[in-house]
Structure 1
Amino acid sequence: MTQAGKKKKRAVNRSIMLAKKIIIKDGGTPQGIGSPSVYHAVIVIFLEFFAWGLLTAPTLGVLHETFPKHTFLMNGLIQGVKGLLSFLSAPLIGALSDVWGRKSFLLLTVFFTCAPIPLMKISPWWYFAVISVSGVFAVTFSVVFAYVADITQEHERSMAYGLVSATFAASLVTSPAIGAYLGRVYGDSLVVVLATAIALLDICFILVAVPESLPEKMRPASWGAPISWEQADPFASLKKVGQDSIVLLICITVFLSYLPEAGQYSSFFLYLRQIMGFSSESVAAFIAVLGILSIIAQTIVLSLLMRSIGNKNTILLGLGFQILQLAWYGFGSEPWMMWAAGAVAAMSSITFPAVSALVSRTADADQQGVVQGMITGIRGLCNGLGPALYGFIFYIFHVELNELPMPESSSGGSVVAQYHLQQNSIIPGPPFLFGACSVLLALLVALFIPEHTNLNVRSSNWKKHCGSHGHPHSPQAPGEAKEPLLQDTNV
């Protein structure tokens, strides 16, 4: 190596160490309040998604005003690009957090995820553009789960992850209703200012109060060798899907069932607001009720079903509820039908936890990370493909509004838009019917999954690059695969 090259390398290393010292004090003593705990992660998640939840109603209006002729198509493309970028960047950010520490990447992901918020009133076009690009950093949950894994024992992580997911749900249960009320009484500008202030509070909390969870001795002093393409490859887990027939059946089931679910999350609240004539308050109430029912379904009901009818039958029952829910959304033409289908949707949320439990019970201890990583990769891919697919189907079936929604009535409900009054088609929501067909295929595939089997996937390479630091950030241990009601990429 030439003298100039050596000087350049030393300069780079000094820059890296300087950046690390911003987060960690000299001597390796973590900055923050107290020792690293799950409660630090819970507060970070709550503040971030509470800020975004406040913007639920204003975002739907701004989206239609910005793209009046192709609202659903542009919504699908924006959310699709964001989801794909998150899928591609999550492994790399997780790998880098093994080198630089969790706190720095918590700060990075929260900052860039919340960066579009003040742009909603400054420039709607820039707002949606920045939302799409921010998908590269919209992986706060991945870093939070790694943070929790650093500070908990294996038997504690299931409860810790459940607490994080429940906090996420709680933030969305309350914030959309608060945002809708403040927007109606004081205007959307106040809601945007409040959301921006809460996002800044979250950033300040990370800087001041969150201690680093990854010990200094676990982090290399230089950029160097710990980062490899295999470690940062988003498709690494997907390449192992076909190595075992049972794993293949499980992954196909997850793909066919979660693809319409991801698309539904990205467009359903816009569909309620613009096509079904829901008021902002009604949309917020719908989110709250659905969130509460889903929490009950994924805890009490899921536990009872697993004990009474078994793991596989619970998966089949969840898929059956999902088919009914999507078909109801597809053919439903009245607001009360959406509320009834929402109750069924809460029951369909038991599917993925049941799938994760099946994997954890049938896979060997050294196979858990491999198979759970595959399922997580499949879901991440669906987060990008689902919204774009739903937006395209809405577009080809010409499900768009010809004008802005009419003013709300004095009773608080929204007068149904003229477009909705004129639409008497048999299938008001074509993408939801497509989703029902996709889940039906998933149900047929799931019938061939045995209740008890031994999964056999070669995992030597996976364990090599995931276990190099002694704390894998991507795979989830048994019982740790609980996902939030709405994905991080679909805020």
Structure 2
Amino acid sequence: MATKQERSRPESAFQDNVEEGDKNDSRVLLAVFVLLLVDLLAFTVILPLMPSLLDYYGQVDQGGLYGAIQEYVDWFALTLGIPQTRRFNAVLFGGILGSLFSLLQFLSAPLIGALSDVYGRKPLMLLSAVGIACSYSVWAVSYTFGVFVLARVLGGISKGNVSLATAVVADLKSAKSKGHGMAVIGIAFSLGFLVGPSIGAWFSRISDEGHFFSTPALFALTLSICNIVFITFFLPETLPKEKRAKSIGNGLSEASFLINPPSLFSFSAVKNLTKKELESLQSLGSTYFLYLFLFSGLEYTLTFLTHNKFQYTSMQQGRMFLYMGLIMLVTQGGYSRRISPGTEKKIASRGMAILVPSFLLIGAAESTLLFYVGLGLFSFASATVVPCLTAMTSAYGGTDQKGTVMGILRSLGALARALGPVAASTVYWGLGALPCYAMGGLLLFIPVLMLAKVQTTTDKTDE
């Protein structure tokens, strides 16, 4: 007969393995948090500088790419009978650049993810970090608009690290660790967008007045080099060779699906759902896309609005981002965390409804006080909508389909962010700030009505 001590050995070994696994997961999550935070601090440095950057190129690059595009824009405005408002050209150029960056990210991220399934997460994370560092080095010497566009193209193509970080978290064995990992990614985003813009504004203030962007760019480059070193020595490989895809073929097939809009909107890769569930999932995906399309476009034009209407400097832009980030961080850390399961639909609808008056206030405000009231509503509401829509979507599909469902949702969001800035900036350029924000705000009633028709479902993996 086995003794009590002998019977306890397997249990003890199992407990040791669990504890060791938790420690390994914790190390991975810490590494993911650090590399994402450093990357996002570098990425957000440029946000408060964009209006000033485009003004700069408008003055120094009239004989280059900026001047050539501006001539075409002037001809286009004359053809349509739009008044010559060159001060709004920067808004249009900024929207085009924002959409170009996001479109390249939308196209490259699935490919980078597919390559990581074959070659591992760490090598592709390093490759992405090197590409990002190259984009910042080009930005630091972008004395013409053409070179600046090249820097943004390099950055957009290389910006696959967020999707790779999500894949690293998905590789973890413990469901608890995966949940913590998603929270860690959210915290890194919040802190990055809270602090990064202020750092960029401060560095631009102490830079040489002629090339005010060089010091912020060099700071971003320094952070990206630190990230390369950190990934090399501290990020463990989470996808062992025996679990990797044998060939790139299947991965490329899935990547091509994730950049095919009809397939995305139909969720055709999701199997084993009832007709009613699939229709609800498709409606939810369309709601998510339309919301982010409208939201991202108006969000992107905020810095140009304050630059044109209130003559904000880069430092004032940085303080604006700090104000928004603090409200979003407090909302996500307090209110959003306490949302009860099953109430996400109501909270998301309420958030989108609050955004309607916030955009109207932002567009119509003639005083800083009224503008900041609208901005406060904007920051609070925007911190609740995406988490709720994401939680609703995650309830669809079995365990083996969750990754597919969420991958499609991320791609729909990336596509919306690729189209939103250029659409909103075109309306802003042609009609002005108030019509742009009024139209965008009122159109938000459409996703509210779409969401009202969505039939919620329970997560079958919890049953």
TM-score tier, shorter chain, comes to 0.7 to 0.9
Change (3 A) 1:300 1:211: same
Change (3 A) 1:378 1:190: closer
| Letter paired with 1:219 | R
Aligned to 2:141: 122
- In the alignment, is the contact (CA less than 8 A) between 2:98 and 2:422 conserved in 1? yes
1:176 aligns with 2:202: no
> In the TM superposition, what whole-angstrom CA distance separates every residue of 1:330-362 from its partner, at most 9, and x where no partner exists?
222322222111211122121121112223346
Counterparts of 2:388 and 2:111, CA distance in 1: 28
- In the alignment, is the contact (CA less than 8 A) between 2:131 and 2:154 conserved in 1? no
Change (3 A) 1:224 1:435: closer
| Letter paired with 2:454 | I
Of residues 236, 240, 263, the one that matches 2:267 is 240
Of residues 292, 299, 304, the one that matches 1:270 is 304
Aligned to 2:43: 52
| Letter paired with 2:200 | G
Residue pairs, 1:296-445, within 5 angstroms: 296-306=330-340, 310-349=343-382, 350-361=384-395, 363-397=397-431, 399=432, 428-445=433-450
Number of equivalent positions: 394
Q: Cα offset for 1:133? A: 4.6
Counterparts of 2:167 and 2:153, CA distance in 1: 24
Aligned to 2:56: 65
Q: Cα offset for 1:144? A: 0.8
Aligned to 2:106: 87
TM-score normalized with structure 1 length: 0.73
1:165 aligns with 2:186: yes
Q: Cα offset for 1:453? A: 6.6
Aligned to 1:292: 326
Counterparts of 1:58 and 1:359, CA distance in 2: 35
Q: Cα offset for 1:378? A: 1.6
Q: Cα offset for 1:47? A: 1.4
Counterparts of 1:151 and 1:113, CA distance in 2: 26
| Letter paired with 2:224 | A
- In the alignment, is the contact (CA less than 8 A) between 2:140 and 2:218 conserved in 1? no
Q: Cα offset for 1:387? A: 1.0
Aligned to 1:151: 172
Counterparts of 1:141 and 1:130, CA distance in 2: 19
Of residues 239, 246, 262, the one that matches 1:214 is 239
Name the structure where helix makes up a greater proportion of residues: 2
Counterparts of 2:248 and 2:107, CA distance in 1: 22
Change (3 A) 1:348 1:151: same
Counterparts of 1:150 and 1:42, CA distance in 2: 15
- In the alignment, is the contact (CA less than 8 A) between 1:253 and 1:446 conserved in 2? yes
Counterparts of 2:244 and 2:138, CA distance in 1: 36
Q: Cα offset for 1:317? A: 0.7
Counterparts of 1:176 and 1:352, CA distance in 2: 22
Counterparts of 1:157 and 1:227, CA distance in 2: 22
- In the alignment, is the contact (CA less than 8 A) between 1:107 and 1:206 conserved in 2? yes
- In the alignment, is the contact (CA less than 8 A) between 1:82 and 1:131 conserved in 2? yes
> In the TM superposition, what whole-angstrom CA distance separates every residue of 1:63-115 from its partner, at most 9, and x where no partner exists?
22214632111111111122122112222211110111111111122222342
| Letter paired with 1:313 | K
Change (3 A) 1:137 1:185: closer
> In the TM superposition, what whole-angstrom CA distance separates every residue of 1:232-288 from its partner, at most 9, and x where no partner exists?
422243342696321232122112211112213332223223333223222111111
Change (3 A) 1:363 1:103: closer
Change (3 A) 1:374 1:195: closer
Aligned to 1:227: 251
Counterparts of 1:205 and 1:262, CA distance in 2: 31
Counterparts of 1:83 and 1:342, CA distance in 2: 24
Aligned to 2:153: 132
Change (3 A) 1:450 1:251: same
Counterparts of 2:455 and 2:228, CA distance in 1: 47
Change (3 A) 1:295 1:158: farther
Change (3 A) 1:111 1:275: farther
Counterparts of 2:249 and 2:194, CA distance in 1: 44
Counterparts of 1:395 and 1:328, CA distance in 2: 19
5+ residue gaps, structure 2, are 1-23, 60-85
Secondary structure of the residue that 1:396 maps to in structure 2? helix
Indicate the structure whose relative CO is greater, using CA pairs within 8 Å and at least 6 residues apart. 1
Change (3 A) 1:118 1:63: farther
Counterparts of 2:27 and 2:256, CA distance in 1: 26
Indicate the RMSD between aligned Cα atoms, in angstroms: 2.8
Change (3 A) 1:110 1:228: closer
Aligned to 1:446: 451
- In the alignment, is the contact (CA less than 8 A) between 2:287 and 2:450 conserved in 1? yes
Secondary structure of the residue that 2:340 maps to in structure 1? helix
Counterparts of 1:263 and 1:161, CA distance in 2: 25
| Letter paired with 1:204 | V
Q: Which moved more, 1:143-152 or 1:179-188?
A: 179-188
Identity of aligned residues (%): 19
